Structure 1
């Protein structure tokens, strides 16, 4: 995927007023039933991006649970989701003092009017600001060149027409060392790194991290694959509330076998903290 103009070139949009917030908004009709209007602006081709959809369901879960922040969210993608009306049904399994857990399903109606489940989710929520500050980690932020040295949408050899709709909502800067695939020369290492922000400058928060873990081009491109790489299952762990500013993301895959590949993502904030991790299984 590609990006839009730099988030350093626009004023930050406050949470609630940005395109991301409008496009992930849900309205609770009654307990456990929420309606959404899925935006075509987050499409890759005709299907909507899995991370965007995870944020929509994540917002419904936030309304259903007593805790505000996603800690772990696992989604199974059953059928491709398209723009238009959708219903999210939530069911609370447990509302604890420290964490709470619920399941959710995102549904759309097909051409015959039959309701079809698109995504099934199980999630645990808590309060990130209540977590202890102690950190012991061997993880290190990815080495990504400064944003001005990375590739943007305007650098795409196919021109503006080659940029997916979702790419126009993002300020995505790809590390030149990991996007040779765009010029027909994949490294075959299965690595992609870059900077990520929202095009309107909205600062990241726990819900936008659910989108961020699936926002970069698939690592399958760096293995020589072309075309759509649909997600089968995605688990995201949100580890901390991100600091304002752009995110650094590194995604890798080590094994493509039987027509499926895994993809691991790390998301680092501007304070050099590992704020989200994910693993997904995708079909090649």
Structure 2
């Protein structure tokens, strides 16, 4: 069986400390000068899930992330990392824990991200009401991220791992013609066609270009805080992603993301508070 590159980058090994696991980020998942934040969150959630699955005293069917709140202190770099986990509360419907990701820098440990997440069982989740998925052209009629200039792709290896197809109606910013609506939408899947699961949705929520680009703000937009909700297990196939923003000011903006699976079911949503750094 061929193992996905995504599974490789979130793979963890035990250490001599029961609540600490180690892994390694690679340059293959970088956007600019940092490892993509969604990859960091997915690896952290995997560490916390493994902690819960290995604990004989806990509710082991609580293995789907349901909600995660993450703070990004510093940008993650290629290289080894550790993920330290802590159980906070085990309940009948949700089990909550904390995870912190560190990397060694100049002989000291630097915290990259800290998150609190609750896990549950999303098997057979009912849906009583959901927002409607956007009407998009088929993926083959959308703008592939691989159409970006070669110099851009050379510094964004993440786009060789994740297949992103943007709705042409929301991709004008790529040629200097942002719509100024604060909207980017399109399709997403892993390029090796590994099917999505609930942990991979954390990556998908932070995979698209920043919605600030559609406002003509092309600088760095670092994530300060991220809150994600996983609503149900995704069906196989393409994910439909929509990003919006309504408020920009004081050097900050919010970025709201929604994801629907191939059946049209809403599977994940998030809000990020991002810094705005004009180019």
What's the TM-score bracket when you normalise by the shorter of the two chains? over 0.9
- Show structure 1 runs of 5+ residues with no match: 1-12
SS of 2:129's partner is coil
Q: Partners of 1:42 and 1:138 in 2: how far apart? A: 32
Give 1:138 shift: 4.5
Cα deviation, 1:109-135, whole Å, max 9, x if unaligned, reads: 112x11111111000001111x542x2
Q: Partners of 1:76 and 1:153 in 2: how far apart? A: 28
Bigger relative contact order, structure 1 or 2 (CA pairs below 8 A, ≥6 apart)? 1
Match of 1:9 in 2: none
- Show structure 2 runs of 5+ residues with no match: 53-59
Cα deviation, 1:52-92, whole Å, max 9, x if unaligned, reads: 11001010011112321100011000011101001111010
Q: Partners of 1:154 and 1:28 in 2: how far apart? A: 37
Further displaced range: 59-68 or 201-210: 59-68
Alignment of 1:123-142 (within 5 A): 123-129=117-123, 131-133=124-126, 135-142=127-134
Q: Partners of 2:197 and 2:145 in 1: how far apart? A: 24
How many aligned positions are there?
Answer: 265
RMSD, aligned CA: 1.3
1:44 to 31, 50, 53: 31
Give 1:153 shift: 3.0
Alignment of 1:63-74 (within 5 A): 63-65=50-52, 66=60, 67-74=62-69
SS of 1:55's partner is helix
Runs of 4+ in 1 over 6 A off after TM superposition: none
Give 1:102 shift: 0.4
Q: Partners of 2:130 and 2:67 in 1: how far apart? A: 21
Alignment of 1:138-217 (within 5 A): 138-156=130-148, 158=149, 160-163=150-153, 164-217=156-209
Contact 2:65 2:119 in 1 (8 A): yes
Q: Partners of 2:26 and 2:122 in 1: how far apart? A: 28
- Alignment TM-score, normalising by the size of structure 1: 0.90
Match of 1:227 in 2: 219
**1:245 aligned onto 2:240:** no
Q: Compared with structure 1, are the counterparts of its residues 132 and 202 closer, same or farther at alpha carbon in structure 2 (3 Å cutoff)?
A: closer
Contact 2:125 2:232 in 1 (8 A): no
Q: Partners of 1:115 and 1:147 in 2: how far apart? A: 43
- Alignment TM-score, normalising by the size of structure 2: 0.92
Contact 2:145 2:166 in 1 (8 A): no
Contact 2:163 2:190 in 1 (8 A): yes
Cα deviation, 1:141-187, whole Å, max 9, x if unaligned, reads: 0111111110113432x2x3312110110111000111111100111
Q: Partners of 1:75 and 1:269 in 2: how far apart? A: 24
Q: Partners of 2:195 and 2:141 in 1: how far apart? A: 22
Q: Partners of 2:138 and 2:36 in 1: how far apart? A: 27
